[in-house]
Structure 1
Amino acid sequence: MPKDIHDVADVTTDPAAAAAGKTVVLYRMALPDHLCPSGQKARWLLKSKGYEIDDRLFRTRPEVDAFKKEYDVPTTPQIWIEGERVGGYQALREKLTDFDPKATTYAPVIILFAVAAATALALSIGVLGTITWQTLGWFISISMILLGMQKLRDVESFSTMFLNYDLLARKWVPYGYVYPWVETGAGILMTGMLLTWLAAPAALFIATIGAISVYKAVYIDKRELKCACVGGGSNVPLGFVSLTENLMMMGMAIVMLWRLFA
């Protein structure tokens, strides 16, 4: 079992020399008023990979400041492995796992749709006692709520990414700020099957513009962009996911309008 060698900060010995074999040197803060979260995560990751940890804890702020000045580093924790300084927790995570902060990924969308599906199933079984076409409707409307919330979490970043491809937002910038509110609001009303005369046309409007915009950007202009569907700052590529989001909204809105006026 991996075990700690030190429980106090050691700044007198060379960390590069101490970091040999399966022994790793970890400098992290354990101040009376602050236990560094990144340091704790680094320690856990190293233990999970079977390393012995030379765990050097800073107990006072002057110790931290002196260390950063001595090694010319901006933050702690700092880790040494096999005689080389790796850096902080993010660098350690990249070194020991497959994590790549710049890699494209569909994980956020998969998780979001999985939660929406589970919630729709729970509603159907709990309220209706069975799975019906309403289950699909709830899945779409709940997905709209969750997607809208992701956009509203940082609407400024979302609107910036959105302006890269949405045709209406590029003509009228405020639409980038309005869109997530409309999506979220329409999703809430559709989930409760309320004010269909308002929710369905609103969803159909934004979804139709969105579908046309995505299709043009990706399949006609052949542009490689990041999708704003899960908010700004995501690494989800623009294309199938965003197009599917808009087509689902369109389908849901058309069915609701048909049932309203049939």
Structure 2
Amino acid sequence: MLARPEKKAVLYRMVMDKHICPYGLKARHLLQREGYQVEDNWLRTREDVDAFKAAHDVKTTPQVFIDGQRIGGYDDTRRFFGKTVPDPKATSYRPVLAVFAITALMALASSHAAFGTPFTLRAAEWFIAFSMAVLALLKLQNIETFSTMFLNYDLLARRFVPYGRIYPFAEAGAGILMIAGVLNWISIPVALFIGTIGAVSVFKAVYLDKRELKCACVGGSSNVPLGFLSLTENLMMIAMALYMLVRHGLTM
């Protein structure tokens, strides 16, 4: 039985004292994962990089060659192997789903640590409160970008522009107080107010006005489409506030 010929690829990537190209590392890993023996050529100086680009008439590195044919950079190599290449401009609910998944696990873990079982009513409360705090954290990473995107659809922010900067602090404060179970007389009305305004704003923009917008719920740089999951953030706050209002009554 004849041995299968060894698959070989040639890779050129930047490896300098102060910069190692991450896409070069990803390209090498991809080739090795696909069963290729990689001839790994390092471009160690800016002069080496410029000379390589000029010689091969390319604008970027890394560059991959297979059987003497130039495949291209990391994304081109993924396409060569029939793999998908994410579109950075494409909308996706993944960031919101990731937040909800992690906060749900955090709530279950906290319940287990506190009560010896993950499945408690307190875990459900913590899930909503953790979600509020984490979503506020994401907004506060770049509050200027968030508040600008928020103006696209929030009804109150359009009338009172500073509300866009107040919102994430209010959401974080209410969430943290709900986690601690203290100062309900502050957290309940705050959550109910911002949740109601947010829910009405999203419902109007998406379901009445039929506008296609990006949601600022996980920060102003996200590509999350404004829609049902965006509405969920606000409905969760309303539900939590109403539940706590019933649970604690008017003696807060």
TM above 0.5, one fold? yes
Contact 1:226-1:234 at 8 Å conserved across structures: yes
1:138–1:71 Cα change, 3 Å = same
Equivalent residue of 2:15, what SS? strand
TM-superposed CA distance for 1:94, in Å, is 5.8
Contact 1:190-1:196 at 8 Å conserved across structures: yes
TM-superposed CA distance for 1:76, in Å, is 2.5
After superposition, give the CA deviation of every residue in 1:18-54 in whole Å (9 maximum; x if it has no partner).
Answer: xxx9544321112234322221122112222333433
Q: Does 1:175 align with 2:163?
A: yes
Equivalent residue of 2:220, what SS? coil
CA distance in 2 between counterparts of 1:261 and 1:125 reads 30
Correspondence for 1:112 among 73, 90, 99: 99
CA distance in 2 between counterparts of 1:134 and 1:166 reads 31
CA distance in 2 between counterparts of 1:74 and 1:56 reads 17
Amino acid of the residue matched to residue 110 of structure 2?
A: L
Q: Does 1:261 align with 2:246?
A: no
Q: Percent identity?
A: 56
Contact 1:104-1:237 at 8 Å conserved across structures: yes
Correspondence for 1:60 among 41, 45, 49: 45
After superposition, give the CA deviation of every residue in 1:46-68 in whole Å (9 maximum; x if it has no partner).
Answer: 22233343322112232123223
TM-superposed CA distance for 1:148, in Å, is 0.9
CA distance in 2 between counterparts of 1:95 and 1:146 reads 38
Bigger shift: 141-150 or 161-170? 161-170
Alignment of 1:23-34 (within 5 A): 23-34=8-19
TM-superposed CA distance for 1:257, in Å, is 2.5
Bigger shift: 182-191 or 206-215? 182-191
CA distance in 1 between counterparts of 2:79 and 2:155 reads 37
Equivalent residue of 2:13, what SS? strand
Contact 1:94-1:100 at 8 Å conserved across structures: no
Gaps of 5+ in 2: 1-5
TM-superposed CA distance for 1:81, in Å, is 5.3
TM-superposed CA distance for 1:250, in Å, is 0.6
1:9 maps to: none
1:122 maps to: 109
Contact 1:196-1:260 at 8 Å conserved across structures: no
Bigger shift: 43-52 or 108-117? 43-52
Correspondence for 1:144 among 132, 136, 144: 132
Bigger shift: 28-37 or 165-174? 28-37
Contact 1:197-1:257 at 8 Å conserved across structures: no
Equivalent residue of 1:27, what SS? strand
2:64 maps to: 79
Bigger shift: 26-35 or 121-130? 26-35
Contact 2:63-2:70 at 8 Å conserved across structures: no
TM-superposed CA distance for 1:123, in Å, is 1.1
Amino acid of the residue matched to residue 261 of structure 1?
A: L
1:64–1:171 Cα change, 3 Å = same
1:59–1:41 Cα change, 3 Å = same
CA distance in 2 between counterparts of 1:93 and 1:155 reads 35
2:178 maps to: 190
Bigger shift: 43-52 or 70-79? 70-79
1:157–1:137 Cα change, 3 Å = same
Contact 1:117-1:139 at 8 Å conserved across structures: yes
Equivalent residue of 2:14, what SS? strand
RMSD of equivalent CA atoms? 2.3
